Structure 1
Amino acid sequence: MATALNVQCTKCAKSAGIATCNGCLAKLCRRCFNDHRQDLLKEFDNVVYAHDILKQKLETPNKNDSHRLLKQIDEWKKDSVDKINQLAEQCRTDVIILLDKNKDELIDRFRKISNRVHKGRDDEDYVERDLSKWMADLKELTDELIKPSNFRIEEDKQSPWIQKIRVREDIHDQAKVKDGKWWFNFVNKQI
């Protein structure tokens, strides 16, 4: 009957299981129980280390570039500025091409006006109405040179080119906002 009461050690399988761990309910001999406690002590040291690291991070003030979310915003800003610069360069190139084309057309129209003015002067064949018409044509060409009427720059208000980002606040069950401040429901725990 003495053998029926002997409990086997969970770790070494000896029939000397004299202690039960209340945490894992393992039946252990004295030597394995002491080893088990040493393992628990090592795990406890890991918990204390993780605790201290987290405490240090919580006590360190946030810097402008230290958090990954702040880095994400900086990356979005850089990408957006790059896209704006690319689009501005493309628009600038397009405008220069259109200005050159417009100028060529204006030069052609100017030559026609110039020929009429020279012919009128050479033939001494002009009246007040001709002078007014030529002056109006020259003013129109000048205005077209300064502010072309055949193209313009416009902003697309319907679909923004740059994607807007925003910060979204997710409220967790353990946290409540009261008077604009966070209140966490901790049960008397110290860090």
Structure 2
Amino acid sequence: MAATSKAQCAKCEKNSGILTCDGCLVKFCRRCFNDHRQDLSKELDNVVYEHDMVKQQLETPNENDCHNLFKQIDKWKKDSIDKINQLADQCRTDVVKLLDKNKDRLMDRFLKITNRVRKGTDDEDYDERDLSKWINDLKELKDELIESSNFRVEEDKQQSSWIQKITVHEDFRDQLKAKDGNL
């Protein structure tokens, strides 16, 4: 009879490999096979733990501050508000400059009215028409001081992309994977 050579245990290399693991197709002796099964049992415990963690996340209601998509939306909102605040500050600065410039122009008109009133008073050379004209001029000046008619604030309808609109989309590839159960 011919002697048959037995395969050695892949783990300890001392004993004969009499049992083969169907998963990894490695031959083990009885003792190493039992150790291998214990290692697999520990790995199964890890799988069960990860499974339970994913299940817990799936069962927990979505919270607005934890998901990355919500963080992206919040960042867009903050950046957009910052842009609006910067533009509003710039517009306020521009309005102050225009008001100052307008006030200087109005002051010149006021001084001219003042000179005419003083001259009329000093010369005692005025009548009802002059008084009416001076009152009208002062009223117009006062109205322009309160509400300037030579400038205004308006929206630029042409620049719609100043604040980028965001939208939420579902990736088509992920939909296919979910249908196939590969996700």
TM-score surpassing 0.5? yes
The letter of the residue matching 1:166 is T
* Greater Cα shift, 82-91 or 108-117: 82-91
The letter of the residue matching 1:58 is L
Aligned residue runs from structure 1 range 1-191, under 5 A: 1-4=2-5, 6-14=6-14, 16-123=16-123, 124=125, 128=129, 134=134, 137-159=137-159, 160-171=161-172, 172-175=175-178
CA distance 1:147–1:2, shift in 2 (3 Å): farther
CA distance in 2, matches of 1:132, 1:125: 10
Normalising by structure 1, what TM-score?
A: 0.74
Which has a greater percent of helix? 2
8 Å CA contact 1:120–1:126 kept in 2: the answer is: no
The letter of the residue matching 1:146 is I
Aligned-pair CA distance for 1:108: 1.1
Runs of 5+ unmatched residues, structure 2: none
The letter of the residue matching 1:151 is F
CA distance in 2, matches of 1:142, 1:94: 22
Aligned-pair CA distance for 1:168: 1.8
CA distance in 2, matches of 1:126, 1:185: 97
CA distance in 2, matches of 1:19, 1:104: 102
Deviations 1:109-146 (A, max 9, x none): 21112222332444415674x66655554444334323
CA distance in 1, matches of 2:180, 2:135: 83
* Greater Cα shift, 24-33 or 79-88: 79-88
The letter of the residue matching 1:73 is I
* Greater Cα shift, 56-65 or 43-52: 56-65
Secondary structure of 1:173's partner?
helix
How many residues of Structure 1 are paired with residues of Structure 2 in the alignment?
Answer: 177
Normalising by structure 2, what TM-score?
A: 0.77
Seq. identity, %: 68
The letter of the residue matching 2:167 is R
Runs of 5+ unmatched residues, structure 1: 176-183
Aligned-pair CA distance for 1:170: 2.4
Which has a greater percent of strand? 1
